[in-house]
């Protein structure tokens, strides 16, 4: 007789979400709290995943408070962590009409590199509409043994 009961282990998704003022101070705080939360989830300070996630949060939060800022409105950071599988970083701002667009910065340009860094470090990233207003910039890190994850982990 074939058993219909499967014994797949249940997936636990851990979620952290918080709003911050749309200031450079708020962006720095988001970064610090993200690293603290990852450490509590046993992705320790100084680990490769923590370092990469810190850079992603820093770039996305800096963009939210410079390009996505609406005066008086906060931005929001959400981390969703599925151990051994996925770390998702969502940074939402309330400015819907302006969209992130990676550029091709000239040699002497001081800016325009943040999203190129996101593109290089994240397994994938995307911009999503947010209800009722604004957008979410999402970056994901695969933590499993896939090729893209291995590259992030520094293994050729």
Ligand X SMILES: Nc1ncnc2c1ncn2[C@@H]1O[C@H](COP(=O)(O)OP(=O)(O)OP(=O)(O)O)[C@@H](O)[C@H]1O
Q: Which of 1, 4, 5, 101 binds ligand X (CB under 6 A)?
A: 101
Is 65 among the residues that bind Mg ion (CB under 5 A)?
Answer: no
Three-state secondary structure of 35-58:
HHHHHHCCCCCCCHHHHHHHHHHH
Is 94 among the residues that bind Mg ion (CB under 5 A)?
Answer: no
3-state helix, strand, coil in the chain (%, to 5): 30, 25, 45
Subset of residues 71 to 100 that bind ligand X, contact rule: CB under 6 A: 93, 95, 98-100
Is 63 among the residues that bind ligand X (CB under 6 A)?
Answer: yes
Interatomic CA distance for residues 89 and 80, integer angstroms: 7
Is 63 among the residues that bind Mg ion (CB under 5 A)?
Answer: yes
Minimal distance, residue 147 CB to ligand X, in Å: 25
CB 94 within 8 A of CB 70: yes
Q: Which of 34, 38, 58, 115 binds ligand X (CB under 6 A)?
A: 115
CB 93 within 8 A of CB 69: yes
Q: Which of 31, 35, 55, 64 binds ligand X (CB under 6 A)?
A: 64
Indicate the residue among 27 and 143 with the shorter CB distance to ligand X.
Answer: 27
Contacts of 155 (CB under 8 A, 6+ apart): none
Is 27 among the residues that bind Mg ion (CB under 5 A)?
Answer: no
Within a 10 A sphere around the Cβ of 81, how many other Cβ atoms? Answer: 24
Residue identified by tokens 């979620």 is 15
Q: Which of 48, 85, 112, 146 binds ligand X (CB under 6 A)?
A: 112
Query: Which residues contact ligand X (rule: CB under 6 A)?
Result: 63-64, 67-68, 93, 95, 98-103, 111-116, 137
Query: Which residues contact Mg ion (rule: CB under 5 A)?
Result: 63, 114
């Amino acid at each position: 007789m074939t058993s219909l009961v499967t014994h797949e282990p249940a997936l636990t998704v851990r979620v952290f979400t918080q709003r911050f003022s749309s200031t450079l101070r708020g962006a720095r705080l988001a970064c610090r709290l993200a690293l603290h939360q990852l450490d509590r989830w046993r992705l320790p300070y100084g680990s490769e995943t923590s370092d990469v996630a810190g850079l992603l949060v820093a770039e996305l939060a800096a963009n939210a408070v410079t390009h996505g800022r609406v005066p008086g409105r906060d931005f929001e950071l959400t981390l969703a962590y599925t151990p051994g599988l996925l770390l998702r970083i969502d940074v939402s701002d309330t400015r819907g009409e302006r969209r992130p667009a990676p550029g091709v910065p000239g040699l002497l340009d001081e800016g325009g590199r943040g999203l190129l860094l996101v593109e290089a470090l994240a397994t994938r990233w995307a911009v999503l509409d947010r209800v009722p207003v604004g957008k979410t910039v999402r970056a994901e890190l695969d933590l499993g043994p896939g090729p893209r994850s291995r590259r992030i982990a520094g293994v050729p």
